[in-house]
Structure 1
């Protein structure tokens, strides 16, 4: 079991709010339960949640141990909330006895699909986060290898097959966005850092210029960039507000001159940025 002490707080909340336990329980990795559960909890920023992810609960005995953990949390505070992705009815029945509000994230949805497809759902565990479609799985692994090789402009090899080339000044979010697109979608993504050596110029850097149609730019705010860079190189020219302002202005001018779409990463998650890139470059299947 892994616990996440992070809390959600209402902006400007006047009074403290009691912490409530939230459990994400799955018969497989727990990724789906946690992702969907967190997405639901995010709609209630006025509450604080102590989060627990419990994967591989695939027997009634294992479920009984989880019920004990839930009961302990219930005894020390408010009634816990339990998000589950459990297929086995016997395991689900044990969890139903926990002193908590249980939200079955599969629930009636599998039944609805069974009815419309005219067949019963497979009882094999963890179908979504296992190898599953091996071709797709290995495509994602190749994409991760490609992203590592082409991180920060390290390699010019096979740039012609890149689906996306992310261009941005240092510390604007190129690498995490690259890795997310590779691992989540199996896209071949390279990224290139804009440095002082790339200016002054009206064109994109030579390494990526002929692939302009596949380029996407990132920017941020000078203050945010300065803060991030100070964590890496405190009190350096590289992290100074003046240098950050200059680099971002030059980058945005470069994007506009070369009609490279771009977005400001300062208030967006890697998931949001990736979604914008996919939509803008029409990479959604």
Structure 2
């Protein structure tokens, strides 16, 4: 498989992508993948290498990179290592090295009039314990209120996600809880909730905090077939009916909603935060 450069030259579209970090690798992986997503014509063989905090550890990574380079995979290396000795070893690798922190840290040092801390992995440490425990509480709340299992303390929910089964309620709920510490409940719309003009009794008092999710009938049918193959629950007709009723319900009650079929959990969460003005 080949991709084309901007001047029309054909190049191999199969590349190695390394995410190298002196901590968990989450930052390198997230930022690196965000950049790679802009080049859909390439197939990347991804390697996340965390806790590379010594020159010897870096040398081991360089050997792996060299092996891939020898196999024609033209490696690209995204790094978030802060130690100069480690970075120096990585810089010698036969690859394109993209330092995701270097230039930006220098700019921040200049702006703040001080040097960056040399302590490793500070972004993913426990940090603010108050914030950490708030996120843990939010996760517990999300688990208790998943799929309408509990009506307890719905009055303190930041968001109540309402949607037919398998539209993406639970992963979105958990992401908002873990990433932002929000108290999020979700409620599944079922046949018992129709016909009705208003929202289901359990969530009706909190309509201002409700957010709806929909999808396409075909996508919903495919997802449901994985759970209950050849069932009425997964049939295209049933999925079409449920989605139409749900969208009518959202519109009648002025509940904002989005289609999850082409959006990631991160994108959906961002829309919910913005729509309900929950950004801090």
Name the TM-score, length of structure 1 as normaliser: 0.94
Distance 2:73 2:269 in 1: 37
2:61 maps to which residue?
A: 66
Contact 1:139 1:186 in 2 (8 A): yes
Which structure 1 residue ranges, 4+ long, deviate > 2 Å from structure 2? 15-18
Select the residue among 263, 267, 270 that pairs with 1:272: 267
Within 5 A, what are the aligned runs for 1:46-61? Answer: 46-61=41-56
Within 5 A, what are the aligned runs for 1:30-41? Answer: 30-41=25-36
2:202 maps to which residue?
A: 207
Contact 2:210 2:255 in 1 (8 A): yes
2:220 maps to which residue?
A: 225
2:122 maps to which residue?
A: 127
Within 5 A, what are the aligned runs for 1:46-125? Answer: 46-125=41-120
1:4 maps to which residue?
A: none
Distance 1:44 1:138 in 2: 38
1:90-114 deviation line (CA, Å, top 9, x unaligned): 1101111111110000011111111
Contact 1:17 1:48 in 2 (8 A): no
Q: Quickly say closer, same or farther: Cα 1:16–1:150, change in 2 above 3 A.
A: farther
For the residue of structure 1 that corresponds to 2:122, the secondary structure is coil
Deviation of 1:150 after TM superposition, in Å, equals 0.4
Contact 2:189 2:246 in 1 (8 A): yes
Distance 2:109 2:199 in 1: 53
Q: Quickly say closer, same or farther: Cα 1:246–1:46, change in 2 above 3 A.
A: same
Distance 1:252 1:131 in 2: 41
Distance 2:232 2:103 in 1: 58
CA RMSD between the two structures: 1.7
1:235 maps to which residue?
A: 230
**Match status 1:152 vs 2:150:** no
Distance 2:194 2:242 in 1: 10
Distance 1:231 1:172 in 2: 13
Contact 1:21 1:73 in 2 (8 A): yes
Unaligned residue ranges in structure 2 (runs of 5+): 5-9
Name the TM-score, length of structure 2 as normaliser: 0.95
**Match status 1:185 vs 2:180:** yes
1:3 maps to which residue?
A: none
Deviation of 1:79 after TM superposition, in Å, equals 2.2
**Match status 1:42 vs 2:37:** yes
Contact 2:13 2:41 in 1 (8 A): no
Contact 2:224 2:233 in 1 (8 A): yes
**Match status 1:249 vs 2:244:** yes
Deviation of 1:16 after TM superposition, in Å, equals 9.7
Distance 1:248 1:46 in 2: 34
